[in-house]
Amino acid sequence: MFPGITIELISNADMGSIHLTKAHQFWPLTNYMSGFGVPMGSYIERFRLSKKMLEEPEIYIDEALFWCLASDLARREGFLDWGFRAGQQLNFSTLGEFGQTLLRQPSLKVALEVFLRSISSEALQVQFGLAKQSEYTWLMMSGTHNAPCGQDVIELYDMAFMCKLVQASAGRHWRPPSVQLQAKSLPEGLDASGVSSGTIRFSSTVTAIAIPDALIATPMSNYCSSAIADIRNNNSERPGTDFATSLRLFLAGYLDEGITVDDCAEMLDMSQRTLQRRLAKHDTSFNQLLDQTRFDHAKILLLNHSVNVTDISYELGYSNPANFTRAFRRWAGVTPRQHRQLNCQ
């Protein structure tokens, strides 16, 4: 596609891990559909995503499952341009420190470089990169074909995200003069003039937007020299890189549902035997991992004296508070109330 150009693509995907993204990364999409009265809770339940994802921004969500939900929702509800429309309404302030850091960079060029360095878990092996050609710098994405479903929604949402990043410097009415799309056409209801001010090439090997070189050095809208945050070494948005660590983050969103090993294996599309075998390579088992996840969250919840032990037990998936007390004594050697008295004064 770009003859004679060296293209550097950035990806942090780990084939050994469960690919996770924090819930708030999906909020622009879920909020957009909720605004049209779409019952997002029903879709979330149907695809067995964590019911907490609409209220708790920091829990981790299986990205592949969400994009399968996106594909099904787009078809059933008739919102085939959902990804692009939601991306257009994206507000960087909803992306936490990641979004604020991008806006605080001194120029679009630096913001693009920080974006590439800071990409957290690209669950479906999506890759981003920059390439120089003639009077343009191309911001590119590839790898959406690896997604089990929802490729069109992913591509249009990420393309809109890339455009929003440039608009933070060029102004909200800016549109790329040239666009490359992996899709064969735009979905019904999406006009070409809303995507590009010039040309659109379909059936490309990558998704790409052309940024005129004249824009590259322009300042970002929120630039403040005294508040630049360097997040090159910030892993707060990055899930664990091995299977066991990723699974612990995944389980945290389902504790109150009393998740079992069968439930977990089914959601991850593998057999129980495969799940346990992969955990054995990390010298643990599903029950040990679930216990550790519950213990970690119990200690956090016990810090809040306004939450009683009974409510904590239900939050962790125990049907009987006595079972939680016995389990906690086994983990810590004391009861939950004794732990609170000893550590939370």
The residue type found at 217 is A
Nearest to 267 by CA among 287, 239, 247, 284: 247
Q: State mean pLDDT over 32-49.
A: 93
Torsion of CA 290, 293, 295, 297, to 10 degrees: -140
- pLDDT above 80: residue 46: yes
Pairing of strands 136-142, 207-212: antiparallel
Query: Over pLDDT 90: what percentage of the chain?
Result: 36
H-helix segments, 59-146:
63-77, 82-88, 96-103, 108-118
Provide the 8-state DSSP code for 134.
T
- pLDDT above 90: residue 142: no
Q: What is the pLDDT of residues 163-178, one digit of tens each?
A: 999 998 888 889 999 9
Which tokens hold the place of 69? 């939900």
- pLDDT above 60: residue 40: yes
Q: State mean pLDDT over 132-136.
A: 90
Q: CA 186, 19, 241, 86 torsion: positive or negative?
A: positive
What is the predicted pLDDT for the residue at 210? 96
**Angle at CA of residue 336, ends 330 and 342, nearest 5°:** 105
- pLDDT above 70: residue 223: no
185 or 220, which is more confident?
185
Q: Which domains does the chain have, with CATH numbers?
A: 8-227 (3.90.1520), 243-343 (1.10.10.60)
In this prediction, residue 146 has a pLDDT band, given cuts at 50, 70 and 90, of low
Q: Which of 82-96, 117-131, 256-270 has the lowest mean pLDDT?
A: 117-131
In this prediction, residue 197 has a pLDDT band, given cuts at 50, 70 and 90, of very high
Q: State mean pLDDT over 172-190.
A: 92
Which tokens hold the place of 167? 């608009």
Q: What is the pLDDT of residues 73-86, one digit of tens each?
A: 999 999 999 899 99
- Dmax over CA atoms of the chain, in Å, equals 70
Q: What is the pTM of this model?
A: 0.71
* Helix axes 151-170 and 96-103, enclosed angle (nearest 10): 40
Q: State mean pLDDT over 184-195.
A: 91
CA 125 to chain centre: 13
Which residues fall within 8 angstroms of residue 82, CB to CB, at 6 or more apart? 29, 32, 33, 70, 73, 74, 153, 156
Burial category of 34 from C-beta neighbours within 10 Å (exposed 0-12, middle 13-18, buried 19 and up)? middle
Q: How many residues does the chain have?
A: 345
How high does pLDDT run on average in the chain?
82
CB atoms within 10 A of CB 12: 18
In this prediction, residue 17 has a pLDDT band, given cuts at 50, 70 and 90, of low
What is the predicted pLDDT for the residue at 64? 85
- pLDDT above 70: residue 2: no
Query: In Å, what is the CA distance from 146 to each residue of 23, 70, 83, 151?
Result: 21, 15, 17, 8
3-state secondary structure 194-228: HHCCCEEECCCCCEEEEEEHHHHCCCCCCCCHHHC
Helices and strands of the chain, counted as H and E runs: 16, 8
Q: Which of 7-11, 58-62, 133-137, 250-254 has the lowest mean pLDDT?
A: 7-11
CB atoms within 10 A of CB 195: 20
Say how many CA atoms lie within 13 Å of 41 toward its Cβ.
4
Q: What is the pLDDT of residues 230-274, one digit of tens each?
A: 333 333 334 445 788 888 888 888 898 888 999 988 888 889 999
